[in-house]
Structure formats: C-alpha cells, structure tokens
Amino acid sequence: MSASRTLFHLIRADVLERTRRRSFLVIVAATLFLGYLVVNGTIGLHLGRYRGVMNAPWIGLMMALCGTTFVSLFGFYAVKNAVARDRQTGVGQVLAGTPIGKLPYLAAKALSNFLVLAVVIALLALAAILLLLIRREAGTVDVRALLPPFFFLALPAMFFTAALAVFFESMPGLRGGLGNIAFFFLWILLLILPLATRSLWTDVTGVRLAMDRLQTDIRALAPDYDGHFTLGIENGAPHDKIPLRWRGMDWTAQDIGWRLLPLGWAVALIAFAALVFDRFDVKAPHREKSARRPGRRTGSGNGLLKPPELALRLLAVVLDRTRFGRMLLAELRLMLQALPWWWHGVAVTLWVFTLIEDPAFSRAALLPCLSLWPMFLWSAMGTKEIRERTWPVLFSCPRPVARQLPALWTAGALVAYAMVSGLMVRLLIAGDLGVVLAIGAGALFVPTLALALGVWSGGSTAFEIVYFLAWYLGPLQHMPALDFMATGDASILAGTPVIVLLLTTLLGLAAVFGRLRFLRL
Amino acid sequence: MQLIIDHLSKQYAREIWGLRDVSLSVRAGVLGLLGPNGAGKSTLMRILATITRPTGGSVSWNGIDIVRSPDCVRTVLGYLPQDFGVYPQLTPQEFLEYLAAAKGLDAPTARRRIDDLLQLVNLDGVRHQRLGGFSGGMRQRVGIAQALLNDPRLLIVDEPTAGLDPEERVRFRNLLSDLSGERIVILSTHIVSDVEAVATDLAVMVRGQLVRQATPEAFLQATAGRVWEWLIPSDELPAVRNRFRITGTLRKPEGMLLRVLAATAPGAGARPVEPTLEDAYLDAVTAPTAGNP
C-alpha cells in the first residue's frame, strides 16, 4: 500500500470516528453559537470611534478573525484527543505493530485535526454569508470578497492548532491536565506576542497582519483614527460610531508568504513530535517480585493464592444502604487524588490571594481564574466511568442514580465552593450578601453543567468547549448574560444568577434523566 | 436462593437480537454458561447484573423482579464484567475502598474485607502501587477481588480467566468451586475446560438462544454413543470435514485421527469413544444448523 493511501485511510478513519461522536455536535453547536454572537453584534471588531460598514470584506474579516482567535482556543481542546483515543481504545498498539512510521501517523492525526477544524471554519464562513444577507449595509453579496480572510487567516491558524494538538499529545508531560492548562497560557501568549513585539514571525493567528493592514487602510480613510483595534465584546452602541467603508485587504505575495509561516511552524511541530512520540510503548508493568517484600505474608506462588479459609469465611458484611457520606468522600478522593501536587499548590495560592486581596479586585480578576482552574477536574464528571470502563461494576452497585450520581455532583460542587470560599467570606464580611448568593449560584451551575454534558455526551470534550466559551465571554470578558460567576455587578442587575439557578435545576434533571436512560439501554 | 429467567429477550434493532426467549432456572452452585462469541452470554450477564434492561421477559431473584427492583439483587451481587476497567491513578487498596463505598459496605467491614481479598488475590504487596502500571492478569485479580467485596450471594463472572496464566486459571476455578456452596455463581466462558471441573450445571447458548441446560453428566449422556474416532488419509480430510461434524483432529504417521460426532459410524474403521464435555458442547452448539448424518 502506498504511503499516500495509508495516510488517506488513517485520516479517513479518524475523521469518521470523530464526526460520528455526539461531542462533534457540541463542536458544531459551539461554532454556531459563536457565529450567532457575531451575527447579533455581541462580538465584533471595534475601531474606537469608527466601525466598518457591514459589507462583504468587513464581515469576512470580522468572522475570520473570530474564528482564528476563538476556534484556535476551543478547537485545540476539541481535537486534542486523536492520539489519546488510539491509546485508550488499544487501536494505537495495533497500529504500532504495522509498518506505519511515527511521522506519517502523527501527520495523519494532524491532518485529521485540521479537517475537523476546517469544518468549523466553513460553518463560520456560512454564518458570515448569513450575516451579509441580513445585515448588509453596502455593496453586494460578494462571496469572493468575503472568503479570502477565511483562507489566508483562519485556515493556516487552524493547521497550526491541529499540529500543536498532536505535539501536546506526543509530549509525555503535556498529554494531560498540565498540557491543557499550559496551552491556555500559550494561547494568550500567541495572541499577545505578535501585538507586543510587532513581529509577524510569531503571528500564527494572523491577527497582527490583519490589524496592520486594517489600521493602514482606516488611517487613509480617517486621518484622526487613533489605531484602536479590539476583537471581542466592547460596550457602546454601534450607531454612536462613525461608519467607514473598508474595501478589504489586497493579499500580496508577501502577505500570503507570512500566512504560510504557520504551516511551516506546524510541520516543524509534527516533526519534533515524531521524535519524542512513544509509539504507544506502554510502561513496564510491575513485576510480581515487587509484591513480595521481605517479611510480608504474600503467599507462596505467583498469581492467585489457593483459597485459604478466608475465601470460605462468610463475612458478615454490613451494608450501609442509606448513608451518603462514604460515597461522597470516595468520589471526592477520586476526584482530587489524581491531580498533581502543583495543581493543589496553585489552587491554594489563588484561594489565599482571595482572602488577602481587595474583594472587588478578587471578584473581577481572581474569580475568573478560580472558576477555570478546576475545569479539567469537573470535565471528568460523569465521563470517567465510561472512559476507564468501570461503569459496569459501578452501576451494578446498589442505588447508582440515587447515591453515586448525587455524591459525584456534591463532590464537584464542594470543589467549586472550596475554590470561591475565601472570596465569599470576604464578601460576607463586607456585607455583600447578594454577590455571595450570586457566586454561590455559579458554583452550583458549573459542576451541574459538567455532569449533565458528561452524562449525555460520554466524554469531556463537550463540557470543555461549552465551558471555555462561556467562561471566556462571561467571567473573563464580563458579558452580563454569560457571567455565571457574577464577576461584575452588571450580571446581577441583568438577573443572570436567577437564570443560572434555573439552568442548574434543568441541567441537574438532565443529568439524572441521562443516567437513568443509560441504565435502561 | 433462586434466580429465574423467564422468556428473556433483548432486541437491539428490528432484526438484531442479543437474546431471544431465554428461560433458565438457577439454584445454588456454579452455572457454566457456554457459547461461541456473539452467543448472547455477555448480554445475559449484563441483564442479570442490572446494567442492561431486557426488551421482553423477566428475571426474578428470590421471587422479586430485578428489572423493576434492581436494588434487591445489587446488594447481593458481585459482578466481574468481561471488559473490566480500573482507575489507573488509584492503588488497588484505594480502588477497592471506592467500590466498597459504592456497594454500601461500612468502613470497618470494608477495611477488613479488602485486607483479606488483597491477600487472597496475592496483591497484598502491591496494594499501594498505582493500577496504571499493573499487568492484565494483575488487573483481572483486582476485578476478582472487587466482585467478592460484599460477599455476594449472586456472583456473575464474565470470561474471568482472560488474562490469567494457566496456573492462575486453575486456582481461580478452585476458588469459584469453594465459593459456590451457599451462593449462585454464573460463569460465562467459551473455554470448556474453565467449567468442566467446577460447574454443577451447564447452559449452552447460540445466537442469542438457549439451546440446552443440563448437568454436565446429562450433557455427556446425551452425546454418549455419538462420538467416534476415525483414522483417515490426510488428503480426505477436506471431504470428510464437509460431511461430518469434527470435534478434534490429531496428525498421525498413518494419516489424520479424527473425533467425529455422528449417530452412526462415519466410515469403515471408525470406533465409538467416550464423549468429553468438549464433544458434548460442540454437539449442542452445532446441532441446530449442521446436517447431522
């Protein structure tokens, strides 16, 4: 079989496997939601006193920049499971026994990642066409003027993201939670660095290039333009702003050359990943000899002992059918035990800061961090039983819905409350009971969302994408309707905590219904 | 103590049945559930373990319908599924403590029981090492330990010897035999030797249906007089294979020595022999479709 045919089948199988999973629908839904936020004007491109007239080039650029910025964030988490899935299902070990090399394998995974992300960008392009149809202020529905930013800005950024996901999956220290957290900071760095250094060498998202060209064009149209450039949520009604008719970027060979640069970085990442990739080599299992420490009673032979008297002793096993505490402790321990020491260290540090810092600062700046830090802990809720295949045993235990599920939910909520407890104490002392209640509602909402999405999707990706998007727009960008943690007063005034509580109730019911449905299959 | 399976069915899609009209009555002892891959053994096990709901029929434990009241059997159930998973970051001790809490064992009983079981499955010395580094056989032993945590009255073990070495398999069979006195043990396998020594009752399933339930002795009796040893030239094997049900072949200097299932002598020189349980099983499995001469 030729190398290209091998590559094709690796990519095909991977794309089919992904797109047939329920979590892919969540990716599509998150993309459509992002497109909707742009269409309704919540997210946009802001130029200070000025704004672009809604024509094909402006809408195309705006939507493509949203894609390159936000999809590179949640898209990374959405696709960073291609190698992990092969590892988990055992397919990886089968592939490792074939002549497929590490480089072709990882290249296939990167290309498969890219195809998934390209679908997301294509959906955003469709949303841009829709936006052009319903909110066009000038020009014609010129798709040729609308699409170039998607090709030259968004797709190279997606290719880079796809390769970066494979790179993270290949590095032993970056596969798990640490890698997920590290990527978030890397994502911020990749956005800030080209803006701070004014260099295009690190401009993988293309925002710097687009900004440079746009600022030059706008200055030509409005000499007093101060260079303001924001992509995201900005207060101020659009009709207060002066419309400028931007005619789009002239994509020169040099511009296209700069946009090919992320592809080069991506290839380098894949090549480096191939050098360190373990090719599904498993860790050496514990030797049986290690089971026999001197002086310990461990039996005379390998493996199972001949049943001694204890096997026949019918222990008077006392079943504790009603108490919930032991199950809760067990779930809490399971949740926290897998986390490394530094995770606890950062959590405690953040918590201490909320105790000693000004509550207003803590609420605006630290609360978003506190509500993000345990994200990967919450995202395992309702999914770890499926992922680790412990569910047949666990769900055949007494009262799996009445005891295990509430215990799991309570453990997640306790973690959320522990994270925000320092701030809540400070706010209580300051007499801000309303804010305390609003934050309390948010702390109930997050684990409930995780549990419901985990139970229904069977994986952690759905929660990670939905939560990241909501967290970015809400607690981080302080968009009142999505600020479920009440990081600003605007969300309380908008009645968001009430909606959050209502949603929490519905999601809780959905989780219970989902688990019952699973048990009835 | 009685488990009654009455006209049990599981239909996945219009023409796809996992189980079809299976009826069984099980009393204390070891029931060996035999059948080829895809026979519906695991589906039946999962229904008995209350993690899959049937689409027809009923299962009752001491007279109580376990589909309507699953907790009546869950409190006395030990279940080792075919595809048993563990949390790799936990140690065997922690994992068993977690499942003891899920099964509702109180803390002192759980501690005592885990100590005993870790010794029983010879994992006492690695009780503080993470499960992620365990071999398949060691994980399987953790699975055996968790199934025995609550001293189950109903023990369901699905392909339990997968991953165990031959010595472990023998010891596990002995363990099941010793445990079976006051409880029902249902042992699903497609390896006849796994049930040969320990089963007090056998049930054979094929394509989602129960084809025979009887004691091992009755199975042997039913096949008695229908097993033949027959030496043939090697080049005749393909033709003979097409005409008869062959349960074993052995190459000899003179040709191929076959074990053949047939009502009458399959050919000149064939001599009747005592059936083994393997012959009886293959007789039951192949009977519905094979053209038995």
Q: How far apart are CA A166 and CA B155, in angstroms?
A: 44
pLDDT at B6: 95
Q: For A265-291, what is the mean pLDDT?
A: 76
CB within 8 Å of chain B, chain A residues 208-237: none
Is some CB atom of chain A closer than 8 A to the CB atom of B94?
Answer: yes
User: If we measure between CA atoms, which residue out of B144, B187, B133 comes closest to residue A303?
Assistant: B144
Query: Could A286 and B85 be called an inter-chain contact, meaning their C-beta atoms sit closer than 8 Å?
Result: no
Query: Could A299 and B119 be called an inter-chain contact, meaning their C-beta atoms sit closer than 8 Å?
Result: yes
pLDDT at A521: 64
Say how many CB pairs under 8 Å bridge A and B: 194
Chain A's closest residue to B125, CA to CA, is A291
Is some CB atom of chain A closer than 8 A to the CB atom of B67?
Answer: no
Q: Kindly list the distances between the CA atom of residue A490 and the CA atoms of A468, A497, B21, in Å, as whole numbers in the listed order.
A: 21, 11, 62
Query: Could A393 and B99 be called an inter-chain contact, meaning their C-beta atoms sit closer than 8 Å?
Result: yes
pLDDT at A288: 47
Which of B51, B122, B129 lies at the smallest CB-CB distance from A392? B51
Q: Please determine, for residue A321, whether its predicted confidence score (pLDDT) is greater than 70.
A: no
Q: How far apart are CA A50 and CA A343, in angstroms?
A: 44
Name the token pair of B260. 């053949």
Query: Could A308 and B74 be called an inter-chain contact, meaning their C-beta atoms sit closer than 8 Å?
Result: no
How large is the angle between the packed helices A253-276 and A207-221, nearest 10 degrees?
A: 160
Which of A317, A321, A337 lies at the smallest CB-CB distance from B151? A317
pLDDT at A159: 97
Of the residues B86, B113, B122, the best mutation for testing chain A's interface (the one with the most A CB atoms within 10 Å of its CB) is B122
pLDDT at A314: 46
Q: Which residues contact A430 (CB under 8 A, 6 or more apart)?
A: A359
Is some CB atom of chain A closer than 8 A to the CB atom of B179?
Answer: yes
Edge to edge, the sheet with strand B271-272 lists: B245-252, B255-261, B227-232, B271-272
Q: Please determine, for residue B224, whether its predicted confidence score (pLDDT) is greater than 80.
A: yes
Using pLDDT thresholds of 50, 70 and 90, give the confidence band for residue A235. Answer: low
Q: What percent of chain A has pLDDT over 90?
A: 51
Q: Please determine, for residue A286, whether its predicted confidence score (pLDDT) is greater than 60.
A: no
Query: Could B88 and A519 be called an inter-chain contact, meaning their C-beta atoms sit closer than 8 Å?
Result: no
pLDDT digits (tens, 9 = 90+) for B97-137: 999 988 888 888 889 999 999 998 889 889 999 888 888 88
Of the residues B123, B176, B188, the best mutation for testing chain A's interface (the one with the most A CB atoms within 10 Å of its CB) is B123
pLDDT at A259: 94
pLDDT digits (tens, 9 = 90+) for B153-178: 999 999 888 777 888 888 888 888 88
CB within 8 Å of chain B, chain A residues 272-291: 283-286, 288, 290-291
SS (H, E, C) chain B: CEEEEEEEEEEEECCEEEEEEEEEEEECEEEEEECCCCCCHHHHHHHHCCCCCCCEEEEEECCEECCCCCHHHHCCEEEECCCCCCCCCCCHHHHHHHHHHHHCECHHHHHHHHHHHHHHCCCHHHCCCCHHHCCHHHHHHHHHHHHCCCCCCEEEEECCCCCCCHHHHHHHHHHHHHHHHHCEEEEEECCHHHHHCCCCEEEEEECCEEEEEECHHHHHHHHCCCEEEEEECHHHHHHHHHHCEEEEEEEECCEEEEEEECCCCCCCCCEECCCCHHHHHHHHHHCCCCCCC
Query: How distant is the Cα of A87 from the closest Cα of chain B, in angstroms?
Result: 13
Q: Please determine, for residue A409, whether its predicted confidence score (pLDDT) is greater than 50.
A: yes
User: What DSSP assignment string belongs to A197-242?
Assistant: H--STT-SSSHHHHHHHHHHHHHHH-TT-----EEE---S-GGGSE
Chain B residues in contact with A296 (beta carbon < 8 A): 124-125
Q: How far apart are CA A72 and CA A58, in angstroms?
A: 21
Residue found by looking up tokens 């049990």 in the block = B8
Q: For A193-221, what is the mean pLDDT?
A: 91
Return the SS3 of A37: helix
Which of A285, A298, A397 lies at the smallest CB-CB distance from B134? A285
pLDDT at A306: 47
Query: Could B81 and A393 be called an inter-chain contact, meaning their C-beta atoms sit closer than 8 Å?
Result: yes
Which of A390, A396, A521 lies at the smallest CB-CB distance from B50? A396
Q: Please determine, for residue A292, whether its predicted confidence score (pLDDT) is greater than 80.
A: no
Of the residues A317, A327, A394, A410, the best mutation for testing chain B's interface (the one with the most B CB atoms within 10 Å of its CB) is A317
Average of per-residue pLDDT values in chain A: 86
Q: Where are the domains of chain A?
A: 3-283, 307-520
Residue B142 in contact with residue B124, Cβ under 8 Å?
Answer: no
Looking only at the bridges linking them, the beta strands covering A50-52 and A242-244 are: parallel
Q: For A429-440, what is the mean pLDDT?
A: 94
pLDDT at B201: 93
Q: For A298-313, what is the mean pLDDT?
A: 47
Q: For A6-17, what is the mean pLDDT?
A: 86
User: What DSSP assignment string belongs to A290-344?
Assistant: GG--TT----SSSSSPPP-HHHH----PPB--S--HHHHHHHHHHHHHTS-HHHH
Return the SS3 of A45: strand
pLDDT at A238: 60
How large is the angle between the packed helices A341-356 and A405-429, nearest 10 degrees?
A: 30
Region of B256 on the Ramachandran plot (φ > 0 left; ψ -120 to 50 alpha; else beta)? beta
Question: Please, which residues bridge with residue B162 across strands?
Answer: none
CB within 8 Å of chain A, chain B residues 229-248: none
Q: Please determine, for residue B293, whether its predicted confidence score (pLDDT) is greater than 50.
A: no
Query: How distant is the Cα of A91 from the closest Cα of chain B, in angstroms?
Result: 16
φ, ψ for residue B175, nearest 5 deg: -60, -45
Chain B's closest residue to A299, CA to CA, is B122
Which of A302, A315, A395 lies at the smallest CB-CB distance from B51? A395
Q: How far apart are CA A379 and CA A374, in angstroms?
A: 9
Question: Please, which residues bridge with residue B4 across strands?
Answer: B25, B60
Chain B's closest residue to A403, CA to CA, is B102
Query: How distant is the Cα of A185 from the closest Cα of chain B, in angstroms?
Result: 26
User: If we measure between CA atoms, which residue out of A100, A131, A72, A90 comes closest to residue A11?
Assistant: A100
CB within 8 Å of chain B, chain A residues 313-342: 313-321, 326-327, 329-330, 333-334, 337-338
Average of per-residue pLDDT values in chain B: 89
Q: What is the DSSP letter of A175?
A: S
Residue B264 in contact with residue B230, Cβ under 8 Å?
Answer: no
pLDDT at A41: 79
Name the token pair of A456. 């229904």
User: If we measure between CA atoms, which residue out of A436, A428, A444, A449 comes closest to residue A492?
Assistant: A436
The more confident residue out of A468 and B155 is B155
pLDDT at A9: 85
Residue A230 in contact with residue A215, Cβ under 8 Å?
Answer: no
Q: Please determine, for residue B26, whether its predicted confidence score (pLDDT) is greater than 90.
A: yes
Residue A153 in contact with residue A258, Cβ under 8 Å?
Answer: no
Is some CB atom of chain A closer than 8 A to the CB atom of B121?
Answer: yes
Question: Please, which residues bridge with residue B260 across strands?
Answer: B228, B246
pLDDT digits (tens, 9 = 90+) for A60-118: 999 999 999 989 988 998 899 899 888 877 788 778 877 788 999 999 999 999 999 99
Residue A158 in contact with residue A75, Cβ under 8 Å?
Answer: yes
ipTM for the whole complex: 0.81
Report which residue type is found at A198.
Answer: R
Using pLDDT thresholds of 50, 70 and 90, give the confidence band for residue A175. Answer: confident
Query: How distant is the Cα of A80 from the closest Cα of chain B, in angstroms?
Result: 20
pLDDT digits (tens, 9 = 90+) for B258-285: 999 998 999 888 999 999 999 999 988 8
pLDDT at A293: 41
Report which residue type is found at B132.
Answer: G
Residue found by looking up tokens 């978030």 in the block = A184
Chain A residues in contact with B87 (beta carbon < 8 A): 334, 338, 384, 388, 390
User: What DSSP assignment string belongs to A472-521?
Assistant: IIIIIT--GGG-TT--SHHHHHTTHHHHHHHHHHHHHHHHHHHHHHHHH-
Sign of CA dihedral A310, A312, A318, A321: positive
Using pLDDT thresholds of 50, 70 and 90, give the confidence band for residue A319. Answer: low
Q: Kindly list the distances between the CA atom of residue B183 and the CA atoms of A312, B65, B77, B78, B153, in Å, as whole numbers in the listed order.
A: 11, 19, 10, 11, 5
Chain A residues in contact with B165 (beta carbon < 8 A): 302-303
Q: Please determine, for residue A508, whether its predicted confidence score (pLDDT) is greater than 90.
A: yes
Residue B10 in contact with residue B35, Cβ under 8 Å?
Answer: no
Is some CB atom of chain B closer than 8 A to the CB atom of A392?
Answer: yes
Query: Could B165 and A299 be called an inter-chain contact, meaning their C-beta atoms sit closer than 8 Å?
Result: no
Which of A312, A329, A392 lies at the smallest CB-CB distance from B81? A392
Which of B107, B143, B167 lies at the smallest CB-CB distance from A303? B167
Chain A's closest residue to B161, CA to CA, is A304
Mean pLDDT is lowest, of A316-330, A388-402, A420-434, A490-504, for: A316-330
pLDDT at A317: 54
Query: Could A317 and B175 be called an inter-chain contact, meaning their C-beta atoms sit closer than 8 Å?
Result: no
CB atoms within 10 A of CB A464: 24
Query: Could B120 and A393 be called an inter-chain contact, meaning their C-beta atoms sit closer than 8 Å?
Result: no
pTM over 0.95: no
Q: How far apart are CA A392 and CA A372, in angstroms?
A: 31
Is some CB atom of chain A closer than 8 A to the CB atom of B52?
Answer: yes
Which of A303, A395, A400 lies at the smallest CB-CB distance from B122? A303
Q: How far apart are CA A509 and CA A330, in angstroms?
A: 23
Sign of CA dihedral B205, B210, B215, B219: negative
